[in-house]
Structure 1
Amino acid sequence: MLLIRAIIRPEKTGLVMSELVAAGFPALTKMDVYGRGKQKGITVGEIHYDEIPKEMLMIVCNDEDKDDIIRVILRYAKTGAGTFGDGRIFISPVEEAYTVSTGKAGL
């Protein structure tokens, strides 16, 4: 199992989530997050924004589903211009998962 964490622009979240559902991946967790990338924020006029609002989608999946999920995120989270700030995807291994209500292991 893998944990996919995608940090994307808030205005792209609804589209990415609906396309993940359409592709057969409805289960995820969404969180509001704030941060900055390698550019260290943005400057507009005389104002510097150090913490940029983003959304983080967390998806635990079977290894064989990883490429399909990443393909959906990359396609629908990207802006037309493909500029910095579109986001980042991180993949981590998941050793175990349990359903709280049943105690059943696995996805």
Structure 2
Amino acid sequence: MKMIKAIIRPEKVSEVLHDLAEADFPAVTKIDVFGRGKQRGVKVGNVHYDEIPKELLMLVVQDDYKDDVIQIISKTAKTGNGSFGDGKIFVSDVEEVYTISSGSNTL
């Protein structure tokens, strides 16, 4: 299984969640986060914004579906002009999963 973590623009969250659900990937954890990329924030006039609000979406999928989920997030979260700050997607292996209510290993 794969853990997919996507950091995206807040204004794209609803659309990404909708497209994931439509593709039968409804189970997602969403977390408000703040950060900056290579550009070290944003300068507007004389004000420098060092921490930009973003959303972190996390989901776990079977290995066979990893590319599908990445494609959905990439396509939907990208702004029309493909701007800096559209986000990042991180993929890592999941070794174990346990359901708290039953204690069972669900892999």
Query: Do Structure 1 and Structure 2 share a fold, with TM-score over 0.5?
Result: yes
The two structures have a TM-score, normalised by structure 2, of 0.97
> 1:47-103 CA distances to partner (integer Å, 9 max, x unpaired)?
000000000000011111100000100010000010000000000111000111112
Structure 1, unaligned runs of 5 or more: none
> Could you say which residue in structure 2 is the equivalent of 1:79?
79
TM-score, structure 1 length as denominator?
Answer: 0.97
Q: CA RMSD in A?
A: 0.8
**1:17 alignment counterpart:** 17
Shift of 1:104: 1.9
SS at 2:106 equivalent: coil
Q: Which runs of 5+ in 2 are unaligned?
A: none
SS of the residue 2:84 aligns to: coil
Q: Which residue of 1 aligns with 2:36?
A: 36
Query: 1:77 & 1:104 partners in 2: Cα distance?
Result: 34
Q: CA deviation at 1:43?
A: 0.3
The aligned length equals: 107
CA distance in 2, matches of 1:68, 1:82: 20
Q: Percent same amino acid among aligned pairs?
A: 60
Measure the CA separation in 2 of the matches of 1:15 and 1:30.
13
Structure 1 segments of 4+ aligned residues over 4 angstroms from their partners: none
Deviation at 1:106, TM superposition (A): 1.9
